[in-house]
Every structure is written in C-alpha cells, then in structure tokens.
Chain A
Amino acid sequence: MTTKNQQENQAGITQEGRFYSAERLHAMHDMMLFIRRFEEKAGQMYGLKKIGGFCHLCNGQEAVCVGMEEAAEPTDYMMTSYRDHGHILARGSKPTAIMAELLGRAGGIVGGKGGSMHMFDKEKNFAGGNGIVGEQVPIGIGFAFASQYRDDKRVSITIMGDGGVNQGAVYESFNMAALWKLPVVFVIENNQYAMGTSLSRASAETHLYKRGISFKVPGIQVDGMDVLEVERKMIEALEHARSGQGPIIVEMMTYRYRGHSMSDPATYRTRDEVDEWRSGRDPIVRLQKQMIEAGLATEAEFKQKDKDIKKEVVAVAKAAEAQPEPDLSALWDDIITDEIPNAYPYPRQVG
C-alpha cells in the first residue's frame, strides 16, 4: 500500500509502516538506473570487443542489488557470484574502477587481473566476484564466523543463484551456520534460470526459501522486483542474523533480462515471458510510478535524470578507456613463486 505522506514535514512514501523520504527514494532510483545504464554500456563495449571473456549482466535484477545495500550496514560483508557488477556498484565502489576492470586496465578494481567475474573491494567489504558456482557460500559463512569470533556484529550477506543453490557445499554451509548460529543472510537470487536450465528442470523443491528447513534455517520469499520490499525484508533478515539468532535464507524472486552471458542467445525462454517481466514488473518503472503517484517526481524529471545518468556512464567509460593496460611486471605481483632458474625468459644459454 502506497500513500502520500508527510513525516517530520518531509515528503516521502510510507509502505507497510516504513517511511521512505523523497531524497532516499531518489537515491535508490538513481542507483538502479545507473546500474541498468552501466550494464547496457558494458554490453555495448563487449560488442565492440573492448571487453572479453565471460561477462554476465544483471539487467532486471537492480532492485535486489540496491534494496539489499539500502538495508545493510557498510561494515556488513557481502559476496556473490560472477554476476557482480550491480552489487559492487550498489556497495559504492567507484564506477570507473569497475569499468576499467571490465576493460582490463591498470586502474581496474583488482588491477585488471580479474575482469567481469572477479570484482573485489576490500575497503567496501565486498569479497567478490567468485567464478565457481557455489564457491562463495562456505566463504560467506567464514566471514560470519570471523564476525562472531570478534563479536563485532557484522553480518555476512552471502549471495547465490537458483542454480548455485544446488551445490553440495551450500548445505554443508547451511548446517554449520545453523549449528553455530553464525550471523549470515543467505540471499538466493532466483532469476528463474541457471544458464539454459529453468528452475524446475534442476530443482525438485522449487520454493528455494524452504531449502534450509531440515537444517533449521528459516527462509522468506521476497518480490525482488520491488526495491522497497527488498529493503524491508532485508532489514528483518539482517536483524535476525545480527541479533544472534543465526542464519536466514532470503529468496529474491527476480529475472535477468539478458542472456546468461554475452554469448547466450537465450532461446530457452519465450519472448512473451521476457516481456511479462520487463514491461509488467520492471523495478525501475515500478518505483518511478510510485514516486510520481506520490507527487515526489514527474515523468519529465525522470527523463532528464536518465539523460544525465547516460552521460555520466559515457564519461565513466571514457575515463576507464583512457587508462593504460597494466604494466607487464604486474604479472609477477601478488603471487608467491619459487624462482625456477632459466625459466623466464627462455634460456638464451643452456647448461
């Protein structure tokens, strides 16, 4: 239920008893739109072969990224899979560093060594950017363990996909997290597909929030296309974990508009299905409507905003592209190697 509301003389929206100021709503909207336009730009740069390898875009899933971040403390840990651009942008990492990483530049967020799948920002407590499906889940409970160990009340927000949730290590993690009451929120981004495999072709129990039942991990299902609902439900989940009650599963119902990666034509789903989500449930359009209804913005303002953001993204891409590639000496940074004599460069002299 959305109503026009004045609280402490502030314009905003109250939903389910929670007040969102106009300022905050604009910030959430702008971040979602920024992520959308950033991803479109990344797709374009990929088409121009400026970005290589695997590149997974999160168009359609912006409300999950932004709503979660709105609910979280900056000190909370966060980690996810390779579909990581939106999450790290929402965390507040520098867009130019993210774009530079996509381009393999020296100023990339990990110095050009990781690319699209391996975005990390330790300062922002963002631990990847993990390319192996399910890999981040046990790592996530490790962060939660460290938090419990130091009793610093930080929660680990450990994100996985509807495909990733079938990895065995996920259940080992559920059990340990519940057994030791670790402060972790397991977020399942249920975008209905793992590559070309629809949820029901890979999962016997398709209500993924129930996947913790036999481990005594409670679960909730959230409309992941509604940024305000995501924020509210995440607040509850984070409180649950932070207050020492142990882990909780949050299943975000969402949809990816693009193919799995840039090379996927996504022929396994119908145009109608994509349209239904895109035009019927789009998280950005939805928030815009709510804000217009509440008299907090006009369509013209949103149009102008979009223009501004597109310009901003172009500037980000330009700045990233202007950066040099990493120095070749960086090949040997950040790795222990026992020197193998005569190895590099190949011996000019043998013996």
Chain B
Amino acid sequence: MAKITYREALNQAMCQEMERDDRVFLMGEEVAEYNGAYKVSQGMLDKFGPKRVIDTPITELGFSGLGVGAAMAGLRPVIEFMTWNFAILAADQIVNAAAKMKYMTGGQYDCPMVFRGAGGAAARVSSQHSQAFENWYANIPGLKVVMPSNPADAKGLLAASIRDNDTVIFIENEINYGDIGEVPEGEYIIPLGKADIKRVGTDITLVAHSRMTGYALMAADELAKQGIDAEVVDPRTIRPLDEATILASVAKTNRAVVIEEGWRFAGIGAEISARIMEKGFDDLDAPVARVTGKDVPMPYAANLENYALPSVSEIVEAARVVCNRA
C-alpha cells in the first residue's frame, strides 16, 4: 500500500474509472487547465485530453443539467462542484431531474452519474462557503449520498460511486484534502452502503462521518485516558444508511453519541438517533446525544467560527454525560 493524500486518492479513483470505461468524463469549473481549484484533477487533462476533462463557464445549473442529459443518453458524467455551496444553483437538476428520472420514467431512463466536490466548512470562509448539505440530499428519495473520511475510503467509495447505476452525491471535505493515509494500489472498490468501524470499543458508540470521524477518533483517545473505551462508527454512505452496523455497535456499548458538522435541526444526527431509538431502544442505557454545528450561519471571526463548529471537547463532554460520568 502506498501513502497518498485524500486528494490523490480521489484522483486515482477517477483515473481508474476513466481508463476502465470510456463513457466516464469529468466536467466542472477549473477542472482541466487549472487542474482543479483544489487540485483533485491534477494531471487529468494531460492524461485524458479536453474531450473527457472539460472546463465549464460558471454556470452550475447549466452544466449539471448537461450531466443529467448525458447520463440519460448513456454516458457516465462526473460533475464537479468547486464546492457544494455552489451546487445550490443546480438544485433543480439534481433534485427535480436526476433524483427522479428513473422512477418518473417508469424505469426507462437511468441517471448514472456522480456529483462531487468539497462540502462542509473550510477555514475562515464565512457564511456562504461553510455549509454541510448532506441532510438536504439524503432527504431526497432517489439519491445516494457518500462521504469519505480518509484517503482509502475516498478512493474506494468514489470508484464505486462512478460505477453505481444511480445518481450519487459525493461530498468531500476541503480540510481533509491534504490528509495522508495508506491506500491500496490498483483497482480498489468499497461497496456503497457499508459502514466502517474505525475504532473498536466497548463503552460507547460514537457515530461520525466525513471530517467529524477524525474528531471522534481524537475524542476516543481522550476518553480512553479517562477510562471510557469508545467505538467509532463511520457510516461512509449516508444514504443508503448501514443501520445494521450502527445498531450492532449500540447493542454492544448500550450508549451512543452522534456527531456531525452540519446544523442540528433535522440533521443526520436526528435521523441516526431516531433509528437507534426505533430499533435499538431496549439496548440503550441512556438517551442518545448529538454533537452538531451550532444553528447559525458560519461567522468569519476566528473565535466565533471556532465556537460555531463542533469540537473534540464537546464530543468528550457529551460522551461523558451519556456514560453518566459528567
């Protein structure tokens, strides 16, 4: 296994799939000549040429719709949003077209495509550029939502998403792009819909995805020092959700904290804790707690931004409360 960055892992997955399947192409703002605003598509223009790696004007609604049409016509588009904040302009094509196409056409048309890009908060980019939208898309029947938390998952999940026959919302994280990890060389696929246990423990289950998985692991280290042995479960695919793995973990630990960077109201934590309540109620020794971003637009000032985001210490505190150790 080679040690590479999260962004290189994404790049490998796209190259792997483009070499394998000539229907796959990459389109988005600055993906070709600039090698990607965050350098995820580094070298891909040179490798695959301008027919398959395509720079667009700043027209998110337009090129997303183009992707939908191309997918319906049998191609396999990978549409990059520089960040998911800009995908809001394309919401009509994602929600009203891509998500519904197969159902609405009685199965005549597939819409096999990937919308991908950076989600969540980067550093100090303020309200309009620091938002977690996974709960929006996960709420839409017809969309799969995938969020890798480390380089190996980034590669395996993106490759699986490109091969998938449904529309996949693939949300990366800008702050994770430079993270380094071991990634299998050659063809590597992680099936969608499978959670991963990132740390085995017995006392409490921490469920976290994307950047928050790293936070949960740090919190678990801190909790270990305090005598609490936490298990960290990363769903990896938000929808379909691997409920079985989460419930099995809670059956073992009897306690859970769900962590997400996004807003609390109607967030992913609300869904996961409801599922635990519905199907794992008898296993619980305490109510499930949620650690989330504060319900405000992201402020710019360093101290306010810090306060708005979930922190490792909040996760530790919530876990202690749930374990009756506060």
Contact = CB atoms under 8 A, between A and B. Distances in A.
A166 B300 CA distance: 28
Given A202-B57, A347-B318, A114 B296 contact: no
Interface string A330-344: 111001011010011
Contact of A201 (B55, B61, B296, B322): B55
B301 A325 contact: yes
A268 B33 contact: yes
A297 to B, nearest CB: 39
Interface residues of A, number: 51
**Interface hub of A130, A131, A335 (most chain B Cβ within 10 A):** A131
A196 B34 contact: yes
Interface in A57-82: none
Contacts of A346: 289, 291, 314, 317-318, 321
A218 interface: no
B33 to A, nearest CB: 6
Given A168-B61, A268-B33, A331-B296, A52 B302 contact: yes
**Chain A interface mostly helix, strand, loop or mixed?**
loop
Interface stretch (B3-11, B122-130, B163-171): B122-130
Interface residues of B, number: 48
B73 interface: no
Contact of B58 (A134, A345, A349, A350): A134
Contacts of B308: 331
B58 A328 contact: no
Contact of A113 (B59, B127, B287): B127
A52 B55 contact: no
| Chain B contact residues: helix, strand, loop or mixed | loop
Contacts, number: 153
A345 to B, nearest CB: 8
Interface in B23-65: 29-30, 33-34, 37, 55-59, 61-62
Contact of B300 (A112, A337, A351): A112
Interface of A: 52-54, 101, 104-105, 108, 112-115, 117-118, 130-134, 163-164, 166-169, 194-197, 201-203, 268, 325-326, 328, 330-332, 335, 337-338, 340, 343-351
8 contacts: A104-B124, A104-B303, A113-B126, A114-B300, A115-B300, A132-B85, A169-B89, A195-B30
Given A117-B129, A132-B128, A133-B86, 20 more contacts: A53-B122, A104-B304, A114-B126, A115-B125, A118-B128, A167-B59, A168-B59, A168-B62, A195-B29, A201-B55, A268-B33, A325-B302, A328-B304, A330-B304, A331-B308, A340-B265, A345-B314, A346-B318, A346-B321, A351-B286
Interface of B: 29-30, 33-34, 37, 55-59, 61-62, 85-86, 88-89, 122-129, 264-265, 286-287, 289, 291, 294-297, 299-304, 307-308, 314, 317-318, 321-322, 326
